[in-house]
Each structure stands twice: as structure tokens, then as C-alpha cells.
Structure 1
């Protein structure tokens, strides 16, 4: 007989050090914008070194889309010290009076051609990164690709998996127990991950220029002079307008085991798409996409959560997972928080720690294809109308409204918070859930509602609000002090990153065609 929640909680409470020493990392994306709120047309700032090799500052899709990356931290205060320091340095060294866009949906963009793809130098690996982005542009358009988010990377200590095996009465040990446990977490995140955009989604509105004249089935309302919104939306970034792909809707990615997951993603990497086949691979001898499969590479799989493992040189993400199992999970459903100068708050991180631990502890049955579709429908409902009164969600055959699901979930999270606070000798988790839980019954307290109320009350444009915030935050970031790093650290990292890029470029011994051929041949190996 399987243990109930309280029995499982007791196992973790008794197992020393199973609920402390979490590994945490943050990747925050932010557009560089001009003083009038347009997308920067300038190259990656000189002070930031090589986007290909820098350890903390790179670019994502576009040359103007910065990405800040923290090292792994075992302490939340240390995590935010890293994040604040990289923002402080960036704010001081932005050129041409540029600022960082503090929301997920893009600034005013005149047309898609004004979005320059990120450049990574003349090496084969650098060219592949840009060619991959060219493929994304040709497949989905550039507007979708300049939406910004915050990714949260999270791992448990080894002791957690010993407790997990005991609580699950499982004979698995080592990396097998760890991978099975993380896959269970992922399945529960697919079931209940809608709570993240509900609570923290902050993109209920967008600039009309984002649509570029395209038709949409959404019945938008207007405010200001060029802002459109959905009255009950939480995260348009996560909607069909945002970071989704209709081409991937037919994929049957299976999360019932690590082997199932790897096999289903490998299948997607070889599955053809008629539209992409029609597009072609080269035009005037230049790559317009890496290949004509549904996924060019693993990174193109759009998902709200990913299983991850640090790769060795020459490995693909799937090969790393196959060889050594899951090391951590990446949460990808967080909007940039416009109420924070670094895009996320400590309270959010504390809630994520709590919620992800609950997802791993709680029984997690296999998910059928029909259930997977159901969970996707729940997520789509929440991102477009999550604050609608009495919105109903069905999970594993049970239908309740958002408030009822939230009440049930927070009841268990509050119990878990007490145990986790004992482990950490603090009250951070109890404080986080106490402050956040009321949002389930009172949607006006959510981030999206607060943003929308600000826009409607002042008849403001999304862009004007964001631009004002970006200038305020830049001043605030410049005034703060370093907590961990220094100017000398970043100046040295610039030099090191440029040296690494030069070494990579000088070590190439194949032309780009040969490099890609070898890459995809190697990627097929297990």
C-alpha cells in the first residue's frame, strides 16, 4: 500500500538533510531598448565580451536580447547576490543610453526584419547557433522569438533521493532513483504547473505592433493608444500568440520514464514537417534552417519544464541524459516580473522551491496521451482566462474551479513549508505560501491583475509603463553595490571569453557543411 502525503512528509522529515542544500540557478532574458522604447539595433555591447563564451552574459535569439546566467547557488541570498551583480554591471555598461526591458512581451518593433539574429562569431559552433536562429525566424517569425522569460534551474541534494526511494517504497537507487524521481516531478508539474502563470504571469497585455497585422481569434480590448489585452489573461507569453508552436502539436512526447522521454524526443528530431520541407534548407548557398525536421535540435522543443544534465564536450542534451540521467529541471513558464529590477523575487524562488519539492514528493502516475492533451488545455485556459470567475479545470478525472484547486494545494504546501523551514532554520517557506496562497481565491492579487489595473486606471500603454520602469530600474541598479563579484571580475571574464572564442575559431578544421553533417551523425548515436 502506498504512503499518503502525511506519511511521505514524515519520511522526509526523519531523513536528515533531505530538504536542504537545493541547487538553484536563474537565466533571465531582457531586450536592450533605446531611450524612446524601440528595439536596439546596436551590436552586443563591447564590455560584455563574447556572447559565445561568457559565463554570465550572453544573448538568446536576437542580438538585442540579453541573457544573464547565474552560477548554481545552494543559498537563496547568494543566488540573488549573483543576479544583482550581473544586472549592476550590465546597467553600468549598456551603451547609447539603452535600458533593459522589464516585461516579457516585446517593446515596439516596426517590422520583423528589424530583429537582428544573435551573432556568435566565425567558428562552426557559432555559425550553427546563428543558423538555428535563422531557422526559427523562417519557421515561426522573429516576433515570437523576442519574447523574454525567466528560467529557473532546480536540483535536489543526494539525500533527497534516499528519502524519495523510502517514501515510494522503491528498490531504485543512485541515478535510476534520481531520474525516476525527476520524471515524477515533471509529470506533476504538467498536472499542476498552471499555478505558475496563474500566480506569477505578468503579460495580460501587449503592444499592437506585436501582431504585425496578423489575424487572431482572441477578442482583444484596447487601452492607451496602442495596447491590447484580454480581461482575464495571465500570461499571453505562454499562449498561442507566444512561445508555442503549432508544428509541435502533433508530437507525442512521453514523460512516463526517462527512456520514454529520450525516445520520443529522438523521434521528433527525425520526423519531417511538410511546411519545413517546402521551405528548403539552403537558399543562395546560405542555410535558412538546419534541417527540415519538426525539431532542428533539442532546444526547439517548447515545453514549460525540461529534464536537464550538464553536457560534456561533444555531447547533445539527449546524450548527456541517456549517459548519466537527470541532474536538474529547468522551469520555463515564468514571465519576467515587472515588479522586480532583476525580473524575479526571492518570494517567487521560495514558492518554486516549495512547489517543486511537493511535485517530487507527491505520487505521480503515468500520463496518457489524452491526459497530456487535457493538461495542455488547462494551461491554455489559465494563460488566456485564468482570472475568469469560477474557471474550471479537470485534473485526473476531477473537476474543480481554480480557487478550490488552489485551496487543496496550499493546504499541503503549508504542511510542507513547516518541515522545510525546520530544515533551513528559517520561516521563508511559510512566509512565501502565506503571502501567495490568497491569490487563488482573490485573483485581483495576482501579478497579471495588478499590471492590468495599472494600465486601465491610467489609460496607459504597455510600452510606456515598461519604458518608465526600465529607466527607474537602471538608475536603481547602477546605484547598488556589488555583493559577490566586482568590475575586475567582469573585465577579466570579458578577456577570457574573447580568448576562448578565438581559440575555438582557430581550432576548426572542417567547413561548415562538414561540421553540420558530423554533428547530426553524432547526435543519432546513443
Structure 2
């Protein structure tokens, strides 16, 4: 019988373990003093959303996205994220950085301004892509915020791991195969993250105005899911027939990129009927199932840093998978920066175990079961009687969660032994505590509802109150002079870089888009 991957990993010497490489992207809405989505342009003091390395916008001009560089330690990454929040909060004037995933009060699609990136062709492409999302799905769903966690392992680890497994592939192909191994197990277990970190059980009623739903009423302006962990990751009328037609395979890189590429080059009748233009104005990049790769929504993505004007598929095919992006994390409204250290350390442990556990290819029947488990925990995860399908049997969700947490204990002990300290055991204990209640689990979705009940506030009032308190906390934390100077320099350079790009344009947008689509 072949030696288990866990056993092989235990043969690493402590000196061979190089740890993780990690980064986070955190989104959040700007709202005005009355708790309505901001109608103002991206603040000048935050630089160019097109070229700033740390501060940009996601779908909407009002939806900020803060990005950390890559770090080896959680504490350094969190400090970087907090510094960016401090700088942003100092430059928002009387606006507030919304602390929750589900948005503030909205007044339909027209109230959500699409992000602008200047007059360059690449800036216009980003805007047209977002216009296409509005045409295809509406703007409401695009106003939801979340956190994306990026994780990789250094090449020194991969070389040693490849040697220990006796693998003869190129390092590029080996890494890609191993990341897909991890992704397959992530898909099997991602429901656990929705139970432990789902924090969006309620929303402002304006979000689902004129939309059919099965939510319950909390108060005049708030609706909630009685058993839900994450309305952000649920349906809420977001039914995408075009994407539902895709059978994206996460078994290997080649099938993944081929399926996405086919979707980008296959027209969809409903989008064809709309057309790519209205008169001379482009309203979507193309009429295909997907305009670009990023339109495909999934809880996890294999990623590779792109070069200038290179498409994600091209980067993956040329240089292989570089890191994975976990995309299913709700904002933690109790944290001023939307994520917390114990959560990040747990994710490292969880993802490493996905790599070390047996991971057979996923067939169609299993794929369907995994989707059902995920959707069930999103919609009904706080119901202790919910059962999940695991290994052909129905298992109560609490038992299934504890089984996975128990499975992580030996790995946490091993990593803590190598690193010194109790970081991973403490992170694991934090999650275990969430499921220790005899009557009610202390998961974030339950804590959000309890905080709303105890304060007597609905979603919009409670999140606004929490957001203001976070703002006050961060504004009282002074940025070190060198950090502040670095942010001001990045801001100035981003504005100058956008100007250089715009001044050096030689093509019309139509020509640029034609070349882009043909590449």
C-alpha cells in the first residue's frame, strides 16, 4: 500500500519547511453619512483605481478593493491590510467604509455607479466589462463585497515535495497538478468555510425589492434567512443560465482552461440578441457565454500573475498555476479590516490539509453532491438537523464539521512544532469553540443576528453603527511617517502612470478591442 501524503509530509525536516506565501484582497462599499451607497467619484486622495497597487475599485465606483502584497507571515499581512485601511479611512471625509458583505440601502440598478478607469483603452475595457455584467445580470448582485484569500507555497517546498513523491514532471506541471489536487479537496470541504465564516444572514430589504425570495422579515427594512449562514453566496434571484451551461472541470489545468476558453468564444443567444453595442457605444465586450475569464464565478480559482495585456488563461497555460484564490469569504463585520488572524491561520491549515489528503478526480455525480452540500450550508447551515452527503452517507452537519476539525489537529501540532508556538492549535481551537454550544452555535452568522437583536437595530442601522465604530478606531491609529509617505508616493505615482498610459494611446478603442479579442 502506498504511503499516505500526510506520512510523507511528516518526513520533512523542520528546516525544509518554508511556510506559506499569502495575501488578501478586501472589498467594501463607500456609503454616505445617511447610509446610502456613495454617488461620489473614487476619492482623488486614493489615487488612480487603474494603476494603484494597493487601492482600486471592484465593480462599482463606490466599491473599494484593498490589496496586500505577498507576505510570509499572517501578522505582517494583517498589519499591511490595517495600514491600508488607516490610510483609506483618513481620506474618506464624511463617508463611511461599509463593514458588511451585504450592501447598504440601494435604490435599484441606477443607484450603483459602474467603476470608471479613465480614457485609456485598458481603462475603457474594464468599464465596458462591468457594463456587460450590468446588462447580463443587473447591478445589484455586483454591489456585494467579500474577502479573497490568496495562498501559495514557495518553490523550495515544491522541489522537496516533488522529490519525496518521486515525481518526474517539470516543476511547472507538477505544481499545477498539485494545486488542482488541493482545489478538488477544497470543493469537497468548502461548505465548512461557509459554516465557520459565513457572516451575512441578513440584508437590507432594498436589495431584493421586486425580486422573489423566501426570506423572513426581521423588521421594516431588514430581511434574513432563519437558518442561513451566507446570503452573499446564495441565489437571491441570481440565476445565470449561461454559466449554468458550463461544466467547468477542476480536475486538471488543461480541461479548466479549455472549458473557459470555449465559453469566451461561444456566443449565447440572449447576449447576441442584446448585441455588443448600442449605436456607437459598447455595452459588453462580446456576446459570448463569458466576456472574459473573470466573469466565471467560483468559490476558488487557480491563478497566475498576468503580464501587461496578457489574459489569465494565457498566463496559466504558459507558466502554470502560481497560487490559489479563495473567493467565498464573507466580510467579518466584527473586524475593522474584514478578516482576522485566527481565520487566516486556520485557512492555511485547512488548505494545506487539502493538499495532503487523498484527492481523486471528481466525476459528474460527485460534483453535483458537492454543490448540494455547499448550497445547503449556505442556506440552512445553522439548522443542527441539516445533513450532508459524505462518502455516500448522510451525516449531521455538526458531526461532519467536528470530524474535519479533528482531522486537522495532528497537522496543527506538527506545524506548531516546526515553527515554535501554538499558532495553528489556537486557530483550530477558535473554530472548535464556534461549534461547542449546546443550543446555538457561536458561528458569525448567529452572532450577527444576535447583535442585531440585542441592539434593537435592523441591518442598515446595525452595520452603519459598526462601520462608524471601526472608522473611529482606525482614524485614531496614526500611520507611521514612513508608511504615510509611501502611501502618498504610491498615490501620486498611480495618477502619473494613468496619465502616461492615456497619453501614449495610438489605437481607437474599437481597434484595441478587436486585437484583444483575437489574442
Deviations, residues 172-229 of structure 1 (Å, cap 9, x unaligned): 351221111100011111110111111001000101100121112x2x2111321011
Deviations, residues 382-420 of structure 1 (Å, cap 9, x unaligned): 111011122111134343121222222112211100111
Distance 2:419 2:305 in 1: 27
Does the alignment pair 1:156 with 2:191?
no
Query: CA contact under 8 A between 1:161 and 1:181: conserved in structure 2?
Result: no
Does the alignment pair 1:367 with 2:366?
no
Distance 2:149 2:168 in 1: 30
Name the residue aligned to 1:116: 113
Q: Which one of 329, 332, 337 corresponds to residue 342 of structure 1?
A: 337
**TM-score (norm: length of structure 1):** 0.95
Does the alignment pair 1:86 with 2:81?
no
Name the residue aligned to 1:319: 314
Name the residue aligned to 1:248: 243
Name the residue aligned to 1:211: 208
Name the residue aligned to 2:198: 201
Per the TM alignment, residue 21 of structure 1 is displaced from its structure 2 partner at its CA by 3.1
Structure 1 pair 349/483, CA: closer, same or farther in 2 (3 Å)? farther
Query: CA contact under 8 A between 1:81 and 1:484: conserved in structure 2?
Result: no
Query: CA contact under 8 A between 2:6 and 2:356: conserved in structure 1?
Result: no
Per the TM alignment, residue 257 of structure 1 is displaced from its structure 2 partner at its CA by 1.0
Query: CA contact under 8 A between 1:245 and 1:302: conserved in structure 2?
Result: no
For structure 1, which runs of at least 5 residues remain unmatched after alignment? none
Name the residue aligned to 2:515: 518
Distance 2:516 2:133 in 1: 19
Distance 2:2 2:135 in 1: 50
Does the alignment pair 1:418 with 2:405?
no
Give the 5 Å matches for 1:260-299.
260-299=255-294
Task: Figure out how many residues of one structure are paired with residues of the other and give that number.
Answer: 517
Distance 2:426 2:181 in 1: 27
Name the residue aligned to 1:502: 499
Secondary structure of 1:323's aligned partner: helix
Q: Which one of 38, 56, 59 corresponds to residue 58 of structure 1?
A: 56
Name the residue aligned to 2:298: 303
Query: CA contact under 8 A between 2:141 and 2:238: conserved in structure 1?
Result: yes
Q: Which one of 240, 251, 259 corresponds to residue 254 of structure 2?
A: 259
Secondary structure of 2:441's aligned partner: helix
Name the residue aligned to 1:27: 25
Deviations, residues 439-483 of structure 1 (Å, cap 9, x unaligned): 345452100011112223444211100000111111100111336
Give the 5 Å matches for 1:82-231.
82-95=80-93, 97-165=94-162, 168-216=165-213, 218=214, 220-231=215-226
Distance 2:230 2:420 in 1: 35
Q: Which one of 49, 52, 66 corresponds to residue 47 of structure 2?
A: 49
Name the residue aligned to 1:7: 7
Secondary structure of 1:486's aligned partner: helix
Q: Which one of 365, 377, 383 corresponds to residue 372 of structure 2?
A: 377
Deviations, residues 236-263 of structure 1 (Å, cap 9, x unaligned): 1001128773431121111111111111
Structure 1 pair 397/270, CA: closer, same or farther in 2 (3 Å)? farther
Structure 1 pair 273/291, CA: closer, same or farther in 2 (3 Å)? same
Q: Which one of 462, 466, 476 corresponds to residue 463 of structure 2?
A: 466
Per the TM alignment, residue 508 of structure 1 is displaced from its structure 2 partner at its CA by 1.4
Name the residue aligned to 1:489: 486
Distance 1:506 1:396 in 2: 59
Structure 1 pair 407/170, CA: closer, same or farther in 2 (3 Å)? farther
Distance 1:3 1:438 in 2: 33
Secondary structure of 2:41's aligned partner: coil
Distance 1:210 1:342 in 2: 24
Structure 1 pair 465/503, CA: closer, same or farther in 2 (3 Å)? same
Name the residue aligned to 2:449: 452
Distance 1:157 1:483 in 2: 30
Tell me whether 387-396 or 513-522 shows the greater mean CA deviation.
387-396
For structure 2, which runs of at least 5 residues remain unmatched after alignment? none
Distance 1:91 1:512 in 2: 35
Distance 1:256 1:485 in 2: 46
Secondary structure of 2:325's aligned partner: strand
Query: CA contact under 8 A between 1:27 and 1:67: conserved in structure 2?
Result: yes
Distance 2:454 2:472 in 1: 26
Name the residue aligned to 1:409: 404
Distance 2:400 2:283 in 1: 46
Does the alignment pair 1:394 with 2:395?
no
